[in-house]
Amino acid sequence: MQRTLLLYSTVDGHTKRIIERIRDRLEAQDHYVQLAELERCQLDVSQFDKVVIGASIRYGNYRPALFEFIRNNLVPLQQRPCAFFSVNLVARKPGKNTPQTNAYVAKFLQQSPWQPALLGVFAGKLNYPQYAWRDRLVIRFIMWLTKGPTAADTVREYTDWGKVELFADQVAGLGSSQ
C-alpha cells in the first residue's frame, strides 16, 4: 500500500478543499493518505512513499512557510516521487491554467530548490464577503486590473474539479514505473 503525504498551505481554506478531494480520490484507490497543514506539519517526510504539496497565492506570493518547509526537507523530498500544485485566481483564465503557462508555477520553480516530478495548477475561489475589508479592497482592485468580477458580494468558485481528480490519478501513478 502506497503511503502518501498530502500537505497544504492555504489562506482562506480553498486549497484545503482541493487537497481533501485529492485525498478522497487516492483513498478510493487504496492508498494510505496522511493529510497535514504545511505550516503545522511535524511529520517525517521520509516515512512516506510520495509527497504532494499544494499552496495558494495571496498578493502574488506563496506563504513563506512553503519555502521554509522545502529547505528543511529538501533531501527526503528529492528522494521520492513528489507533486506540487498551485492554487491561484489567475488560473481562471484560458492560457494561464496549465503548469507550463501559469506565472505562479513558473515563479515557484524559480524560487524552489525542489523540482517535483508532477506539477498542477488550479483556479481558486473568489469570496469577497469572507475577506477582511483590506483584503476585499486589494483583491477587488487586482480583479479590476485583470478584468475579473469586482462586485463586493461576489462569490465564485473557478476550480475545475475534474482537473483536480485527474491530477489525483496522476499522483496515484507517481513512482509506479520505478
Q: How many residues does the chain have?
A: 178
pLDDT at 140: 94
Interacting residues of 112 by C-beta distance below 8 A, sequence separation 6+? 67, 70
pLDDT beyond 90 at 115: yes
Confidence of residue 59 (pLDDT cuts 50, 70, 90): confident
pLDDT beyond 70 at 178: no
Return the C-alpha cell found at 119.
Answer: 506539477
Residues 129-170 pLDDT 10s: 999 999 999 999 999 998 999 999 999 999 999 999 999 999
CB 139 within 8 A of CB 155: no
**Residue 122: CB atoms within 10 Å:** 25
Q: Where are the domains of the chain?
A: 3-124+159-173, 126-158
pLDDT beyond 90 at 68: yes
**Residue 124: CB atoms within 10 Å:** 26
pLDDT at 37: 96
Q: What are phi and psi of 5, to 5 degrees?
A: -100, 125
**Residue 68: CB atoms within 10 Å:** 12
The CATH number for 3-124+159-173, chosen from 3.10.20.600, 3.50.30.50, 3.40.50.360, 3.40.50.80, is 3.40.50.360
CB 83 within 8 A of CB 115: no
Residue 18 buriedness (CB in 10 A; 0-12 / 13-18 / 19+): buried
Residues 6-42 pLDDT 10s: 999 999 999 999 999 999 999 999 999 999 999 998 8
pTM of the model: 0.94
Confidence of residue 177 (pLDDT cuts 50, 70, 90): low
* Percentage of residues in the chain having pLDDT higher than 70: 99
Compute the distance between CA of residue 41 and CA of residue 99 in angstroms, rounded to an integer.
26
Compute the distance between CA of residue 164 and CA of residue 160 in angstroms, rounded to an integer.
7
**Residue 136: CB atoms within 10 Å:** 15
